[in-house]
Amino acid sequence: MEFDDIFQRHLNALKEEGNYRIFAEIERRRGSFPDATSHEHDGKNDITVWCSNDYLGMAQHESVIRAAKDAISRYGVGSGGTRNISGTNHCHVLLERELADLHDKEAALLFTSGYVANWSTLSTIASRIPSTVILSDSANHASMIEGIRHSRATKLIWRHNDVEDLDRKLGEIPPDVPKIVAFESLYSMDGDIAPVGEICDVAERYGAMTYLDEVHAVGLYGRRGAGIAERDGTGDRITIIEGTLAKAFGCQGGYIAASRSCCDFVRSFASGFIFTTSLPPAIAAASLAAVRHLKTSDRERVQQRRQVERLRRRLDAVGVPHMGHGSHIVAVLIKDPEKCRQISEILRRDYGIYVAPINYPTVPRGTERLRITPSPLHNDADIDKLVGALSALWNQCALARAAA
C-alpha cells in the first residue's frame, strides 16, 4: 500500500477547500515585541505581530527573562525527567504554591501544557468516578473534548453558554449520578465570555462539580489576574480551575488549581502527568516571576484594554466587521477560507503586518477570520497602520463593510 499517496490525497483535498495551513517563519526579537522578522522565500521582512497569545508581552519582561537566566545558571537546562523519577525541582513547588494562592485554592498541579492539563484531568477524574456524566459546552476546546472522549464517560453537550439548556440536561440526570459541568470562561476564537455565576447556580442546584478552563483569561482579568472567575467573584464556587502559563504569563505549561485531595488524586492517577518529563526549571522560574508580577501590577492590563478599545473604535469607523464581545480578542470576519489566507499573506508581504488566518477546523466553515490580539506594547501608530491596511484590503477584495 502506498501510504504517501493516501497522505497526499488528504493534503490535496485540504488545499482545494482552502484550509491547508502554511506556517509563517517568524523570529521574535527580545526587547522589540511586537516587532519581529519574517523569513520569506525571497529574504527577510520586518513585521509587526498582531496574533500572539503572549497577550501582555510578558515573554519580553525583564523580570521574567532574568528569572529564566538565573535558573539556568543554578540548575542547568532540562528537568531530568518526570517528577516521579527525577524528583520535583524546587521551582515547581514554589510555582504550584503561587498558583494555588492566585486562585485561592488549597493546591495546584503543573503540567507541560494547557492541553495536557485539560486532557489529563478530565480523562482521569471522569474515568475513575463510576457512572460520571460530563456536561460539556458545545464550544469547548479540543483538549477538553479529547479528555472527555478518552475517559469513556457519558457525555452530554449543552448549547454554548446557554444556562437554560444546561439546566434542562442536568435535570434529566438522576440525582445520585456524579456530574461534571465543563466549560471555558473566555472562548478564544469569538472572544465571548461565559456567564460563570449563572452556570455555578445551576451546577450547585444539581450537586455537579464545575471544571473551568481559564487559559485565555488568567493574567488578564481580575484584581490579581486570576481570570474571569476572580473578576466576577465566583472563584470559590469552581471545583477545578485550569489555566496556562503560555499565554498572558508569557511562558510555557499548564496547571490545575483545586482542593488538595483533588490535585493529589490527579497527580497519582493521571498518565499525562506521571509519564511526562516535567517543565524545565528555567520555565518554572520564569512563570513564577510572571505570575508574581501580574498579581501586583495592573499597568499591563490597563494599557492592553486601552489599545483593544482603540482598535475596536477605529475598525468601527472604517466599517470593518468584527465580533464585539468586549474581550481582548478582536475577531475580524472574512467568511471565506481562500480570501482569509490571501489577506493574511498580503498583510504580511506588502504591509509588514502578521495576522494568521483562522479557518476550519479551528472555527466552523463559513466563519473564517483574522484573530487579532492587541497588546500593551502595540502603540497607536501600529493600530492606525493595521486599520488602514485592512480598510484598503476590504476594497481590494470586495468585502462587505459593517453598517456605521
DSSP H or E run through 301? helix 299-318
- The contacts of residue 75 (CB under 8 Å, 6+ apart) are 89, 91, 281, 282
User: Contact 253/244 with Cβ under 8 angstroms?
Assistant: yes
Cell of 150: 478518552
Task: Please identify which of the residues 247, 295, 339, 385 carries the catalytic annotation.
Answer: 247
The CA radius of gyration of the chain, in Å to the nearest whole number, is 22
**β-pairing verdict for 353-354 and 43-49:** parallel
Among candidate residues 318, 361, 398, the one with its CA nearest the CA of residue 14? 361
What residues does 137 pair with on adjacent strands?
A: 158
Nearest to 161 by CA among 133, 132, 197, 134: 197
Q: Which run of H or E residues covers position 155? A: strand 154-158
User: Is 50 within 8 Å of 373 (Cβ atoms)?
Assistant: yes
Alpha helices in 76-220 (DSSP H): 83-86, 90-102, 114-128, 142-151, 163-171, 196-205
φ/ψ bin of 247: left (φ > 0), alpha (ψ from -120 to 50), beta (otherwise): alpha
Q: Answer whether the bond into residue 361 is a cis peptide, omega within 30°.
A: yes
**Sheet order of strands, 133-137 included:** 107-111, 254-258, 240-244, 209-213, 179-184, 133-137, 154-158
Give the start-end residues of each E strand in 296-403: 330-333, 353-354, 357-358, 369-372
Reading the block at residue 375, the C-alpha cell is: 497588546
Whether 155 is catalytic is no
Q: Which three cell numbers stand for residue 333?
A: 470576519
Q: Which residues are catalytic?
A: 247
